[in-house]
């Protein structure tokens, strides 16, 4: 009897233990009501989509035209010829873009199906920018700036972009006596109107055998001259056109040059054919080729296969956009289309 009672008590205790364990284990598992659970904290950016522009790689060629004076038909071209060039280019599907956009692979300003082209003007000839009046209130309809502005009004899809490469051993854009005073106003106008300015060095010396210290001086003097006129905008004009197209044998200083901590981004030659779509080909930005703006070249250019903008906006989770490689990986995985490239975000 005693044994039976003991056995019963042991069994009772055991069953109580088991049920209490289940009770406790259940209670532990459902300890907190769902509403009290802290939701998982994803980074704010996790689901944010970043629009990435991708472009079809239909050609690597992008023309960079080099003009000088447009009222000197003996050495260069006349005004009518320049107008004709714009018409030929427009009709052939070209649209002007800023050099700084080209350097970033940014073709946002170019309408779908049109072809980017960059217009550059060297040596600050008077015919590039002059006023009809002595006070500088009316831009001449016959200078480069006036012609480009009128043309863009008539044909908005052509854009109104050009870069003027300046030096300072004579003042920029001298056409009349008044220009000795008006030149600063012109530079401010250009920058505010969306045109670009670039360095053609301080005194237009050939750079072939130039020592690094002299290169530094040429660039520092150039940018220091502009700083009191353009202020902060001076650091937005960090490109160079080599005088006479001559590349220095020692170009280390060019590649490492900075003004107020802002690096020089690119340097242009005076010949060399088509420039290439940047980034994709890892091209040398300090030896960008240009084509002389002659009628013969224009006729040749419009017959060539050059890069045409066909863009698509692809939304990518921000988490995959922190590097060029991760964007490329994402596009290659999710966008099975090999012949594209994308605009750099950074
Ligand atoms: Zn020059």
Give distance in angstroms: CA of 3 to centre of ligand 1: 116
Rounded to two decimals, the pTM is: 0.83
Confidence grade of residue 25 (pLDDT, cut at 50, 70, 90): very low
Q: What is the per-residue pLDDT across 135-154, written as a single tens digit (0 to 9) for each?
A: 999 999 999 999 999 999 99
Q: Which of 19-23, 83-87, 192-196, 315-319 has the lowest mean pLDDT?
A: 19-23
Above 80 in pLDDT, residue 24? no
> What pLDDT score was predicted for residue 7?
64
Give distance in angstroms: CA of 201 to centre of ligand 1: 9
Mean pLDDT of the region 246-256: 95
Q: What is the per-residue pLDDT across 109-119, written as a single tens digit (0 to 9) for each?
A: 999 999 999 99
Which has more pLDDT, 164 or 47?
164
Give distance in angstroms: CA of 121 to centre of ligand 1: 9
Give distance in angstroms: CA of 224 to centre of ligand 1: 20
Give distance in angstroms: CA of 73 to centre of ligand 1: 17
Q: What is the per-residue pLDDT across 316-340, written as a single tens digit (0 to 9) for each?
A: 888 888 887 888 788 877 765 667 7
Strands (E), the chain: 49-56, 61-62, 64-67, 94-96, 115-122, 163-166, 196-199, 239-241, 258-259, 262-263, 266-272, 275-276, 288-292, 311-317, 340-342
Give distance in angstroms: CA of 271 to centre of ligand 1: 12
Give distance in angstroms: CA of 198 to centre of ligand 1: 12
Chain Cα centroid distance, residue 235:
14
Give distance in angstroms: CA of 15 to centre of ligand 1: 100
Give distance in angstroms: CA of 119 to centre of ligand 1: 15
Give distance in angstroms: CA of 204 to centre of ligand 1: 6
Give distance in angstroms: CA of 123 to centre of ligand 1: 5
> What pLDDT score was predicted for residue 104?
87
pLDDT-above-90 percentage for the chain: 67
Own/partner contacts of 183-192, CB < 8 Å, gap of 24 or more, are 184/229, 185/136, 186/129, 186/136, 187/226, 187/229, 187/230, 188/229, 188/230, 189/139, 189/145, 190/129, 190/145, 190/164, 191/230, 191/233, 191/236, 191/237
């Amino acid at each position: 009897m005693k044994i039976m009672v003991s056995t019963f008590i042991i069994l009772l205790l055991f069953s109580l233990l088991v049920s209490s364990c289940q009770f406790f284990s259940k209670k532990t598992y459902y300890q907190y009501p769902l509403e009290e659970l802290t939701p998982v904290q994803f980074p704010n950016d996790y689901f944010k989509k970043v629009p990435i522009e991708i472009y079809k790689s239909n050609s690597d060629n992008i023309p960079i035209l080099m003009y000088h004076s447009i009222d000197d038909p003996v050495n260069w071209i006349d005004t009518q010829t320049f107008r004709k060039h714009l018409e030929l280019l427009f009709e052939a599907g070209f649209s002007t873009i800023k050099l700084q956009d080209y350097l970033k692979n940014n073709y946002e300003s170019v309408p779908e199906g049109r072809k980017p082209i960059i217009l550059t003007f060297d040596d600050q000839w008077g015919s590039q920018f002059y006023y009809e009046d002595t006070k500088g209130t009316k831009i001449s309809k016959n200078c480069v700036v006036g012609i480009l502005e009128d043309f863009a009004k008539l044909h908005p899809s052509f854009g109104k972009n050009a870069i003027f490469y300046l030096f300072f051993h004579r003042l920029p854009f001298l056409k009349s006596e008044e220009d000795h005073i008006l030149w600063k106003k012109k530079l401010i106008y250009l920058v505010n109107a969306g045109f670009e300015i670039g360095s053609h060095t301080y005194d237009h010396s050939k750079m072939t055998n130039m020592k690094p210290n002299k290169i530094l001086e040429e660039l520092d003097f150039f940018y220091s001259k502009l700083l009191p006129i353009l202020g902060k905008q001076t650091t937005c004009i960090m490109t160079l056109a080599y005088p006479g197209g001559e590349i220095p044998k020692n170009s280390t200083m060019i590649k490492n040059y900075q003004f107020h901590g802002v690096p020089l981004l690119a340097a242009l030659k005076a010949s060399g054919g088509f420039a290439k779509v940047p980034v994709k080909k890892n091209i040398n930005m300090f030896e960008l080729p240009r084509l002389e703006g002659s009628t013969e070249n224009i006729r040749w250019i419009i017959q060539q296969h050059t890069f045409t903008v066909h863009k698509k906006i692809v939304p990518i989770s921000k988490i995959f956009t922190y590097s060029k490689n991760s964007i490329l990986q994402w596009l290659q995985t999710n966008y099975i289309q090999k012949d594209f490239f994308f605009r750099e975000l950074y």
